[in-house]
Structure 1
Amino acid sequence: MIHPKSIAVLPFVNMSPGKENDYLCDGITEEIIHALAKIEQLKVTSRTSSFFFKGQNRPLTEIGRELDVANLLEGSLRVSGDRLRITAQLIQVSDDSHFWSESWDRKMEDIFAIQDEISLRIADKLREHLGHLDIADQLVQAPTSKVEAYRHYLQGKSLFNKWNPEDVYQAIGHFEKALQSDPDLIDAHTGLADAYSFLAVAGFAPRELAWKKAMESMQRATEIDTHNAPLNYLLANEAFFTEANFGEAMRYGQQAIASKPTYAEGHQFLAFLFMLRDDMKKAGEHLSYARSIDPLNPETKFYQAYFLYRSQFFDQAEVLLLELLEANAKNLPALITLIYVLLKKEAFERAERLIFGSPAEGIMPDEKLGLACLLWVMQGAAEKYPALLDELEGNASRDTSFQAHAYLFLVYAALNEDKKAFSVLEKLFKHRSSILLLAFGDPLAAPLRHNLEFEDFQKWIFALPNPNPPVRPVKRNSAELSEADATDYLQVLERFMETESPFLDPSLSLRSLANQLEMHPNQLSWLLNEKLGKNFNAYVNGFRVAHFKKLLADPGNAGFSLIGLAYESGFNSKTVFNTVFKKETGMTPKEFQKNRHLSG
C-alpha cells in the first residue's frame, strides 16, 4: 500500500537557452529532497531513484507507481543574468491532479534563502493537503556564504554523478575551486574524498596515491564536522575496504544514519555489514528502509540480491542479478555473485561459461583462477583442480593477492580442510584484507560452520564497536499539546472561524491562520489532525461549503452563478469547488441546487 504522506521530487527542468545551467537545476532539486527528508512523518524518495527519470517523457502516474509514492513535485528553472525564475507544482499521483503551483523570481545571491522558502512552501502545502507534518522553522541551512564556491561544488557534484573517470577528474577540479573560494565548505571536502576513493577502487588512478588524497580530504572534513553523514559513510567504507576493521566500519556507519536518519547509502552499507555478521534481521530492516526511499538505485537492487544470496534464497537472488547484468553487463559485483549463486545451485556448466567467457578487463586473474579452482573442486574433478590449487597456494604465499587468499579459504572449505582454511583466515588481520572478511561467512564456506572454531572466529572478526555511537534520541513531538491546552485552542479556533470567517480569504494557509490565532503552525496542524481528524484543506473547505449553502439559500443571490457563489465563499478554483462539494454532500452543486428547489 502506498504511504499517503510520500513524495518524490523529480529533477527540475532547465528552461534556460543552454545546458550550462543543468547542474544548478540538479542542485536545487537535491537541496529540496534533502530539506523535505528532514520532516520525520514524510517519506521522501532519495536522489538516485528520483533522477532515474531525468530526461524521460513518462506519464506522471507511471513514475509515481514505480517510485511507490502518492505525490510528485516537478519544477523548472530559468537563469537570466544574475536572476533565477523557479516554478514548482505538486501532483497527486492517484488522479494526476495538480493541487498547488507557484513561481519565484529571485537573484542568484539569494539562492539559499530561495531554496529554504521553496522547501517550506512545499512542506506547508503538503501538510495542508495530507495532514499533520511537524515542520522546522528552517529546512535549508546555507552551506557557505560564497555563492561562487557553491556553484563550483554543484558543478563538481553533477560531473561526479556521471561515474566515469574523465568526468570525475573534472569534478575534482571544481571541488578544488570551491575550496579556494571557501576552505570550510565540507561538502567539497567530502566530494573530493568520494572522487579520489572512486578512482582508487575502480583502478583509474594509482591506488595508494588516490587513497592518500581521499584520506587527506576526509581528515579536513573531520576537522569541520565529525557528525557529517557523507563523511562518516566514507570513513565507514575506508575502515572496511582498506583497514578490514569491521568494528570501526560499523561505528562510522551507525554515526552516518544517527546524523541523517534518511541517508539511503548509510542504510545500505549497514545492511551489508549486518549481512556479514549473520544478523539478517537487522540487515533486512536497514535494507527495507533503503528500498523504500531508493527503489530504483542499482546499488539497492544489488544489496537486495546479495541479501537473498546470503539468506540462501538462490533462485530469487539469480533473478535480480540477471536484471542488473542486463542493465549493465560490466557490473562486476553482480557477475561474481551470480557465479557464486550458480555454484551453490550446482549449475556448473553455466558457472563455467561465465568464468571463462568473461572479457579480459572483467574478472581479475587471481579471481578467475580461484573461481576455476572452486568450480572443479565442487564438481569433484580431481584431475583438474590440483594444478590450479598449487598455483593458487603459490600466489597466496606471496601475501600480495587478497583474491588468492579469499579463494584459497573457500577452496579449503569445499575440500573440508578446516585447519588449512582457518590458517588462511588468520591472515585477515595480518594483511588487513577486506576480501577475506567477505569470504568468511559466505554460503560457499558453509562446510566450515560445523567446526567449533568457526563461531570463535566469527565473534573475533565481527565484534561490534564498544561503546556504541550515540543513538539518535527520540524527541517529543514539538507540536503536541496537553489535553487542557488542546481543548482551549479548539474553542478559540471554532470561535474565530465563526466570528471572523477567515476561510473567505482564498489565499488562507495553515501558517497564516496559525499566525492569526497566535499558535505555532505545527500546533494547529497537530490539533486539526489529532483532535478533529482532518487536514487543513478539508477543515477550511468544510466552512466554505457551508457558507456556499447559505448564500445559495438567500433569495437575494438568485442572480449569481454557482461558481460566482463559490468564489464568494473562498474557493479559487472551479475544479476544487466541484470536487470538495461532491465529497461533502454526495452531490454536484447543480444536483444540490435542483434538489433544494424540488424540496422547497
Structure 2
Amino acid sequence: MLLLVTNLAAVTAPAPQKVSLAVLPFVNRSADGANEFFCDGITEEIINALAGIEQLKVISRTSSFFFKNFEGPLSEIGDQLHVSVVLEGSVRFHGDQLRISAQLINVADDSHFWSETWDRKLENIFDTQDEISRLIAEKLREHWGHLDVADRLLTAKTSSLGAYERYLQGQYLFNQWNPESANQAIAQFEQALAQDAGLIEAHLGMADSYSFLAVAGFAPREEAWRKAQEHIKKAVALDANHAGLNYMLANDAFFTRASYQEAMQYGQRSLAAKPNYAEAQRFMAFLYILRGDMSVAHRHLQYAKSIDPLNPETRFYEAYYYYLAGEYTLAKQILKELLAANEKNVPALVTTLYVLLSARQWQEAAAFLEGIPAELMTPDERLGMECLLMALETSTPPAGLAQLTQHAEAPEAHHAHTYLFLVQVVLGRFDAAFAVLDKLFTVQSSVLLLSFSYPLAEPLRADARYAEYHRRIYALEPAPAQKPAKPKATGLETAKAQAYAETLKRYVAQEKPYLDPTLSLRALAHQIEIHPNQLSWLLNEYLQQNFNEFINHRRIEHFKQLVVDPANAHISLVGLAFESGFNSKTVFNTAFKKKEGITPKAYQKGQLSAGEQGEQ
C-alpha cells in the first residue's frame, strides 16, 4: 500500500469526554399529533445550540433520531452513543401556546438530576429554544464540569414564524428520503421562501431536494440540477460561510466537476464554520482517504464516529477506509451489516464488489454481482464489472472489452471510463490506462478520480508517470495562513485565580448562599461579581470541584452542625436537610453517603452514641 494503515480498532468511538450528551427526539404530546415536524425541529435546534459549546460533546441528529420512539433501557442508548448524559423532552401544543418539558438523566445510574417545564407563546419559539438550551448547558456544567456558555446560543433563522414552520415541515418531509416526500418538501420550502426569501436553510433544502431527485433519477436530470444550482447561488449570496452550504459546494465540486482541490477547500470552509459538523468531517475523511493521507483521514473519521456513530454514512466511510487501506475483512464485515439493514444501498453493493475483487475472491464476487438487481446498476457498470472480473481471473482481455471500449468513447460514460481504466491496469497496459485517465481532465469524471486510488490500480504506482498524475489529480494549494487563535475568555492567571478563590470561599463562609435551595452557578457568580464562565473554570479547573460538589459539601457540613444540636431534636433528618439548602431527599442522601461513607441516619446515631459516652 501507498501508506501504512492506522489501526482504527474497528474505528471504535473514543471514550466519553467529561461531558457527553445525547438529545433524544422530543415527544409530541399534542392530542392530534399534527405537529411532529415541530417537535423534531425543536430537538434539532437544541442539538445545534449545545453542539456549539466547545467542551461539550453532543451526538448529531441522525444518531440521536435513531432512538425516536425507543422504549428500551437507557443504558443501551448510552452504550451505543457513548454518552454519559441523556436529555429527554416533550412538547404539547394548545392553540398559540406550547408547553415544553425537559429532563437530564445520568446514564450510569438512570437518575434524573434536573427537570423543567416552560409555558410559552409559539411566536416566541426562537427565544424559547435559546432559553432552554442555555439552561440545559448551565445544569450540565453545575453537575459535570466546566463549560463556556455564551449569553446566547441560538439566533433566529427568520423573523417570520410562518416561514419557519414551512421550513420545518419541508425538512421533516425531506428526511424521509423518497421521491414523493422530496417533492412535497419542495412545495413547503417554496412556501417558506415566499414568506422570507432570505431564509438560507430553505434555499439549501430546495437544493438538497432537487439534487436528490436528480441523482436518484426521479426528475429530469439537467432540469433538476439547474434548479439546485439556482438555490445554491442564492444561498451563497446570503451567507458564503454557511457550513451546510460549503459542504454542499464541496460535493458539487467533487462529483460534478471532479475538482479535488475545490472540494477540499469547501470542506475546510465548512469545518471552519462548524467544526462539529459530522457530514463535513466524513467528507474530509473521504478526501484524505483518496489521497492516501490515512492518518489525517483517521482523525476526521474518528471525530465523525464520536458524534454520529449510528449514521449509515459514518459506517460506510469506515468500510471505505478499510477497503482502501487493504483491510478487506474489516471492510467486508461492515458492508455486510449495512446491506443487512438496507439491501438497496448502492454504494455498499458496489464497494463490496471492489473489496471481493481486491481480495481475489473471484467466485464470491461473481455470485454477488449476479445477485444485484438490474435496476441497481447501470448497464455500463455491470459490463465493466464483468470485464474486470474476467481480466483478474484470466489475465487476458475479456470478451466484453471491445464493447466497453466503444461505450467509453462517449464523454458522459463515466462508468465505462473507470472500468476501462481498471481493466487496462490489470492487463498491464499502462499506456492505455493513462490514456483513459486523461479523460478525467477533459470530461471531469469523478468516477475516474475515485478509481485512480483503488487497490486494483496499485500496479500503476510502479510507473514513472504515477507521481505526476497523483499530483495533478489530488492537487492541493498551500493552506491559507491561520489567524492566531483568540485567547480563552475563561482562563485565569494563577494570581487572579487565587484571589477569586479566596473571595469565593470568604463569601460562601460569611453569607452562606448554599442555604438557598434555588442557588445556581450563574446566581453565585453574580453575587461575587465575576462572569459565570470564570466561576465555572475556577471551580472545575482550579479548585477541582464542580458546582454541585462545592455547594453540597457546605450544605452537608451545615447539616452536621444542625443534627447534633439538641435544639433540633424535634426536626426530622429530611427537615434538617432542607434547612441546609437541599431540596430533594434523594439528592441529600446520595451526596451525604458519597462524602461521609455512611447514611445520615447512621451518622446521627454515631454522634448521639459518642455524646452519651462523653457524658459518662
Same topology, TM > 0.5 = yes
CA deviation vs aligned residue, 1:509-549 (integer Å, no higher than 9, x gap): 00111111111100000011122100000000001000000
Note the C-alpha offset of 1:552.
Answer: 0.8
Aligned partner of 1:250 in structure 2 is: 264
- The reply on whether 1:324 has 2:338 as its aligned counterpart is yes
| Alignment-derived partner of residue 70 in structure 1 | 84
**Mapped contact 1:41–1:133 kept (Cα < 8 A):** yes
The aligned residue for residue 283 of structure 2 is 269
The amino acid of 2:583's aligned partner reads N
Q: Does 1:522 align with 2:533?
A: yes
More moved, 418-427 vs 397-406: 397-406
1:465 CA drift (Å): 3.4
Q: Are positions 1:511 and 2:525 aligned together?
A: no
In the other structure, the counterpart of 1:580 is 591
CA RMSD of aligned residues (A): 1.1
Q: Give the equivalent residue in structure 2 for 1:27.
A: 41
1:126-525 correspondence runs (5 A): 126-380=140-394, 382=396, 385-466=397-478, 468=479, 471=482, 474-525=485-536
Equivalent pair of 1:370/1:392 in contact (CA under 8 Å): yes
The range that moved more, 189-198 or 540-549, is: 189-198
Q: Is the 8 A contact 2:390 2:398 kept in 1?
A: no
Matched residues in 2 for 1:444 and 1:206: separation? 34
CA contact (8 A) 1:250 1:270 kept: yes
Q: How many residues align?
A: 597
Identity of aligned residues (%): 56
CA distance in structure 2 between the partners assigned to 1:310 and 1:364 by the alignment = 23
Matched, 1:598 2:612: no
Shift of 1:355: 1.4
CA contact (8 A) 1:237 1:249 kept: yes
Summarize the Cα distance change of 1:334–1:471 in structure 2 as closer, same or farther, 3 Å threshold: farther
Cα separation, 1, equivalents of 2:582 and 2:79: 31
Return closer, same or farther for 1:297/1:473 CA change in 2, 3 Å cut-off.
farther
Matched residue, 1:13 = 27
Counterpart CA distance in 1 for 2:71 and 2:566 is: 51
SS at match of 1:346: coil
Aligned counterpart, 2:68:
54
Runs ≥4 residues deviating over 4 A: 469-473
Tell me, in whole angstroms, the C-alpha distance in 2 between the residues paired with 1:148 and 1:470: 43
Compute the displacement of 1:474 (Å).
Answer: 3.2
Give the Cα–Cα distance (whole angstroms) in 2 for the partners of residues 288 and 470 of structure 1. 26
| Aligned residue type for 1:532 | L
Structure 2 vs 1, CA of residues 469 and 153 (structure 1 numbering), >3 Å: closer, same or farther?
Answer: farther
CA distance in 2, matches of 1:271, 1:181: 38
Q: Distance in 1 between matches of 2:519 and 2:248?
A: 46
User: Is the 8 Å Cα contact of residues 247 and 266 (structure 2) preserved in structure 1?
Assistant: yes
Contact 1:548 1:566 in 2 (8 A): yes
Secondary structure at the aligned position of 2:608 is classed as helix
AA paired with 2:189? Answer: F
Cα deviation, residue 428, structure 1: 0.3
Matched, 1:553 2:550: no
Residue 7 of structure 2: aligned partner: none
One-letter amino acid matched to 2:250: A
Q: Deviations over 1:92-139 (max 9, x none)?
A: 000010000000000000000000000000000000000111111100
d(CA) in 2 for partners of 1:495, 1:122: 29
Output the amino acid matched with 2:26: F
Q: Report the Cα offset of residue 363 of structure 1.
A: 1.2
* Aligned partner of residue 476 in structure 1, secondary structure: coil
Distance of 1:597 and 1:270 partners within structure 2 = 66
In structure 2, C-alpha distance between the alignment counterparts of 1:500 and 1:592, rounded to whole Å: 26
Q: Which residue identity lines up with residue 400 of structure 1 in the other structure? A: E
Post-superposition offset of 1:470: 6.5
State the one-letter code of the partner of 2:286.
F
Q: With structure 1 as the length reference, what TM-score do the two structures score?
A: 0.98
- Relative to structure 1, the CA distance from residue 368 to residue 459 in structure 2 (aligned partners, 3 Å threshold; closer, same or farther) is same
In the TM superposition, what is the alpha-carbon distance from 1:319 to its structure 2 partner? 0.2
What stretches of structure 1 of length at least 5 have no aligned partner? none
Q: Would the alpha carbon gap of residues 306 and 15 (structure 1) be closer, same or farther in structure 2, given more than 3 Å must change?
A: same
So what's the TM-score if we normalise by structure 2?
0.96
Task: Tell me, in whole angstroms, the C-alpha distance in 2 between the residues paired with 1:275 and 1:227.
Answer: 25
Question: Is the CA contact 2:54–2:148 (under 8 Å) kept in the aligned structure 1?
Answer: yes
Distance of 1:418 and 1:31 partners within structure 2: 53
What is the distance in 1 between the residues matched to 2:496 and 2:283?
44
Does the aligned pair in 2 maintain the 1:248–1:465 contact within 8 Å? no
